[in-house]
Amino acid sequence: MKELTQKEWQEKLEKDDKAVILDVRTEEEVEEGYIPNSKNIDIYKGQGFVNEVEKLDKSKHYYIYCRSGKRSSQACILLDQMGFSETYNLLGGFSEWEGDKTTA
C-alpha cells in the first residue's frame, strides 16, 4: 500500500491503464456523492466485503478511498494480504476530495 495525497493519487490514476477506483464507504455515504467510475464495496460488510474483493482482478491497480482515509487504509492492507499487486490509499478521503464528484 502507498499513501498518496489527492494530487499524487489523481496524477498516478490518470496515467494508469490498469487502474480501478474502489470506494469502501457505506451505501448511505455513497448517496451523498462519489468519485466517477468508482466501484463501491462496503468494508463494514466484513466477510461480504472479502467475498466481493476475491472476485476482483488481482493484476489491476486499486485506488481506494473512504470518507477520511482510515477505512481505505485498512482495505489496502487487506487487499495487500490477499495478494493484490498494487493498492493506493487516498489520504484525507472523500471528505477532502476536490476532484470530480457525482451524486446519486
Catalytic residues: 66
DSSP structure string for 33-84: -B-TTEEE--GGGTHHHHHHHHTS-TTSEEEEE-SSSHHHHHHHHHHHHTT-
Taking residue 37's Cβ as centre, other Cβ atoms within 10 Å add up to 11
Contact assessment for residue 66 and residue 50, using Cβ atoms and an 8 Å cutoff: no
What is the C-alpha to C-alpha distance for residues 67 and 24, in angstroms, rounded to an integer?
A: 9
